[in-house]
Amino acid sequence: MRVVLIGPPGAGKGTQAVRIAEHFSCGDVATGDIFRSNVAEGTALGRVAQAYMDRGDLVPDEVVIAMVMDRLAERDCDAGFVLDGFPRTVAQAEALDRRLAGLETPLDAALNFEVTEEELFRRLAGRSAALHRSDDTEQTIRHRLEVFAEKTRPLIDYYRHRGLLIPVDAIGPVEEVTVRILDALAAKKAT
Ligand code: AMP
């Protein structure tokens, strides 16, 4: 299974990515997590990424694309992958398409996590308190939602035009959302 997850910060992509990857025994590639561990370890990549992340801006495409292409070459992605947080721009989506076309392993689906803005703020405020994420302050959250609307939302049409988009009602208990996703993926595979 090769899927990408699209949705604003706080939509539950990370939680569901782990569950989907477990279900299909494939790679779970979370770009935000990779950046955060690089920041924590003080690597060169972490130093580049940190300022963008703290402001709630996107890390430049060329940096993210190179990192994801390397990660997709790792063993656990041979069986497929769940991409959580990538692509976030059309240029990233095009780079992914080129890579997968070269390998003749096209995407199976793009899951679009749909959540109301009210619910997002409620969740992100809770996450900020629980995880002490430096990019979960109210001002940064607002900015990240604007960045999502401007840079990432166009991907919804991008994948719809390619027949890959699956809308997911991402409100409700975690387990129920997982069932919705797995059912929708099974239905898509069957078509
Ligand atoms: P996340 O944990 O997915 O919300 O990502 C946290 C931060 O990492 C984002 O706000 C961006 O600064 C950066 N980031 C993660 N994925 C990407 C991406 N695909 N493109 C650009 N920046 C990214």
As annotated, the active-site residues are: 13, 88, 127, 133, 144
pLDDT bucket at 128, cuts 50 / 70 / 90: low
Ligand 1 mean position, distance from CA 107 (Å): 21
Which pLDDT band holds residue 142 (cuts at 50, 70, 90)?
confident
Nearest to 72 by CA among 60, 82, 62, 63: 82
DSSP states of 172-188 as a string? S-HHHHHHHHHHHHHHH
Could you write out the DSSP letters of every residue in 111-122?
Answer: EEEE--HHHHHH
Structural contact between residues 145 and 58, judged by C-beta atoms closer than 8 angstroms: no
Residue type, 147: V
Q: How far is the CA of 190 from the centre of ligand 1 (A)?
A: 32
Whole-number pLDDT of residue 34? 96
Own/partner pairs, 32-41, CB within 8 angstroms, 24+ separation: 32/84, 32/85, 33/84, 34/67, 34/71, 35/59
Q: Which of 52-56, 94-98, 113-117, 133-137 has the highest mean pLDDT?
A: 94-98
pLDDT at 132: 66
pLDDT recorded at residue 140 = 83
Q: Which of the four pLDDT bands, split at 50, 70 and 90, describes residue 139?
A: confident
Q: In angstroms, what is the span from residue 23 Cα to ligand 1's centroid?
A: 24
CA nearest ligand 1 atom 19, residue: 86
Tell me the CA distances in angstroms from 65 to 19, 59, 85, 86, 125, one per residue in order. 24, 10, 12, 9, 30
Whether the per-residue pLDDT at 97 is higher than 70: the answer is yes
Mean pLDDT score across all residues of the chain: 93
> CB neighbours of 131 closer than 8 A, spacing ≥ 6?
none
Residue 127 has pLDDT above 80, yes or no: no
pLDDT of residue 123: 81
Ligand 1 atom nearest to CA at 30: 3
Per-residue pLDDT tens over the stretch 162-171: 999 999 999 9
The count of other CB atoms within 10 Å of the CB of residue 70 is 10
* 189 has pLDDT over 80: yes
Give the pLDDT confidence score for residue 118 in this predicted structure. Answer: 85
Pocket test residue of 4, 37, 53 for ligand 1, highest count of atoms within 8 A of CB:
53
